[in-house]
Amino acid sequence: MAGTEIFGKEELAAVRDVIERKMIHRYGSHAARNGIYRVEEFENRAREISGARHALAVANGTAALIVALKGIGIQPGDEVITSPFTFIATVEAIVACNAVPVLGDIDETLSLDPASAERLISKRTRAIMPVHMFGAAADMDRFAELGKKYGIPVIEDACEVVGGTYKGRMLGSLGTCGTWSFDPNKTLTVGEGGIVFTDSEEIHSRMDCYHDHGHIHSKEHDRGAEGKSGLGVNFRLSELQGALGLVALQKMDYALGLLRSAKKRILEAVSDTGIVPRPTHNDEGDTASHVIFMLPSAESAVKFRDAAVSAGGGCSIIADNTWHYAKHWKALESMGEKDWFGARTPSYAPASMAQSDGLLARAAMFGLNIIMDDSSVEKMIRAIRAGAGAAL
């Protein structure tokens, strides 16, 4: 699924242009750059595609999450509700702000369950962060309702679903803020990079300053003469990555089209087996990075996986995924039930995730590559059919 699969002459030309102009920094040197700002162009194009009013490009997806949290005003000890099924960066971003991660349950779509999130809202809750995982959207209608009902910002972690949609709207543009990632393992990559979206001028201004040492950016002044809004960090994106980002966005429809075509072909070919795909809140908006089946039980999921692997398929059970399931994060577990900036952290012991574990233990997953020839697709189809035959 890595976006480098579709790297070609366009990326080489984009990088060469930046190097030949010797203009790597996204800010300053206004007189020397002849009006060319590749990161700004990248932001503008991402904003147009997403439908959001503002887009800020940053160093990576983790930085995008931290900047979003800082932008909405997260303070030490605040609680942020999120999903136990996510990449660890989601939780790391919350902890980096000295806030408390509160993990809800997931539903059959493997997304954060809005009902669970609502039960967890407390007087310390300052944000809800649903995560759109492995190509599919969380229930954004319900999360929007929760945000409005309780006056709580909703931050979309859309780092796994760049280009995905929910009822015709781009994921990442539906919450108070939303984030995309362009890291080496994403469908579209710039090496390392991310974007955070918002419709709020005020939030965008705070994020823009914070991500670059507090600078108040202006093309009327060069770097040394800019004003400062306060303290910040360095999460800037370089012009090299901005140039690559422009190419990546040009290839978005192409890459997603290939993935969706392969997934459709696979699901249609195994539809007679009785195997049940993971339900989604919006099939049309799926980025098709993964094919996931929900087996009747954990035991049948193991039988499915073993038979699929024996038949040559790269199948795994999501409950065993150490990268994307909080049950396996010992560093987080050790943070549980402690005083934390005037708050008390909940337990992060595996037993606290029993409902989510029951679902993830039944979820058998295959990852898709952007470029899959007929033999690769047919091999996956044979593996799925073999798994279904052993498990059902």
Model pLDDT for residues 158-178, shown as the tens digit of each residue:
999 999 999 999 999 999 999
Tens of pLDDT along 136-150? 999 999 999 999 999
Closest CA to 164 of 335, 280, 305: 280
**How far is the C-alpha of 37 from the C-alpha of 169, rounded, in Å?**
28
**How far is the C-alpha of 246 from the C-alpha of 128, rounded, in Å?**
30
Within the chain, strands assigned E span 54-58, 79-82, 100-103, 125-129, 155-157, 165-166, 169-170, 177-181, 194-198, 215-216, 227-228, 290-294, 315-317, 339-340, 343-344, 363-367
Q: Are 203 and 155 in contact (CB under 8 A)?
A: no
pLDDT-derived band at 42, boundaries 50, 70, 90: very high
Residue 277 predicted with pLDDT over 80: yes
Element (H, E) at 10: helix 9-21
Task: Report the pLDDT value the prediction gives residue 173, as an integer from 0 to 100.
Answer: 98
pTM exceeds 0.95 for this model: yes
**How far is the C-alpha of 196 from the C-alpha of 46, rounded, in Å?**
10
